[in-house]
Amino acid sequence: MSAHIRNVAIIAHVDHGKTTLVDALLKQSGVFREGEQVEDCVMDSNDLERERGITILSKNTAVRFKDNLINIVDTPGHADFGGEVERVLGMVEGCLLIVDATEGPMPQTRFVLKKALEKGLRPIVIVNKIDRPSADPHNAVDKVFDLFVELGADDDQCDFPYLFASGLSGFAKDELEEENEDMQPLFEAVLRNVPPPVGDPELPLQIQVTTLDYSEYLGRIVIGKIHNGTINLSQQAALIREDGSIIKARVSKLFGFEGLNRVELKTASAGNIVAVAGFVDANIGETITSPDDPQALPLIRVDEPTLQMTFCVNDSPFAGKEGKFVTSRQLRDRLDRELETNVALRVEETDSPDRFSVSGRGELHLGILIETMRREGYEFQVSQPQVIYREINGQPYEPFEFLVLDVPEDAVGSCIERLGQRRAEMRDMQVNNGRAQLEFVVPARGLVGFRGEFLRMTRGEGIMSHSFLDYRTLAGEIEARRNGVLISFEEGDATFYALKNAEDRGSFFITPGTKVYKGMIVGENNRPQDLELNVCKTKQLTNHRAASGEELVQLQSPVEMNLERALEYITADEMVEVTPESIRLRKMSKKLVKR
Q: Residue 211 corresponds to which amino acid? A: T
Chain-centre distance for alpha carbon 53: 11
User: Cβ of 27: how many Cβ atoms within 10 Å?
Assistant: 17
pTM of the model: 0.73
How many angstroms separate the Cα of 97 from the Cα of each of 29, 154, 300?
Answer: 20, 17, 22
Domain 206-289 sits in CATH 2.40.30.10: yes
Give the domain 390-473 fold: Alpha-Beta Plaits (3.30.70)
Question: Could you tell me which of 409, 452, 444 has the C-alpha nearest to residue 424?
Answer: 444
Alpha helix (H) residue ranges in 135-222: 137-150, 155-158, 184-193
Local structure of residue 197 (DSSP, 8 states): P
Residue of 74, 131, 73 lying closest to 102 (CA atoms): 131
Give me the residues paired with residue 85 across strands: none
- Tell me, rounded to whole angstroms, the distance of Cα 434 from its chain centroid: 30
pLDDT of residue 152: 85
Residue range 2-193, CATH number: 3.40.50.300
Every domain of the chain and the residues it spans: 2-193, 206-289, 390-473, 485-570
Q: What is the full DSSP assignment across 359-395?
A: EESSHHHHHHHHHHHHHTTB-EEEE--EEPPEEETTE
Distance of CA 148 to the CA centre of its chain: 25
Pairwise CA distance, residues 495 & 539, whole Å? 9
CA pair distance 238, 434, nearest whole angstrom:
61
CATH superfamily of 485-570: bipa protein (2.40.50.250)
Cβ pair 478, 423 in contact under 8 A: yes
Digit-by-digit pLDDT tens for the chain (595 residues) are: 566 888 888 888 767 777 788 877 777 766 544 444 444 444 444 555 445 445 445 567 888 888 888 888 877 655 555 556 767 787 888 888 889 888 888 767 777 788 888 888 888 999 988 888 888 888 989 999 998 898 888 888 888 899 998 888 888 888 888 888 888 888 899 999 988 888 888 888 999 888 877 777 887 888 888 998 899 998 999 999 888 888 888 999 998 888 777 888 899 988 888 989 988 888 878 899 998 888 888 887 766 788 899 999 999 899 888 889 999 999 999 998 888 777 778 899 888 889 999 998 777 788 889 988 999 999 999 998 888 888 888 888 998 988 888 888 888 999 999 899 889 999 988 887 788 888 899 998 888 878 778 888 888 888 777 777 888 998 888 876 678 899 998 899 999 888 888 888 889 999 999 999 999 999 999 888 889 999 898 887 766 665 555 445 677 888 888 888 888 888 888 999 999 999 999 998 654 443 3
Count CB atoms within 10 A of the CB of residue 350. Answer: 13
For residue 300, CA distances in Å to 111, 224, 281, 552 come to 17, 12, 17, 65
| Same topology between domain 2-193 and domain 206-289 | no
Judged by DSSP in three states, 454 sits in helix
Q: Which of 249, 220, 242, 259 is nearest to 297 (CA)?
A: 242
Looking at residue 42, its pLDDT comes to 44
Helix (H, G, I), strand (E, B) or coil at 221: strand
Count of all residues that appear for the chain in the document = 595
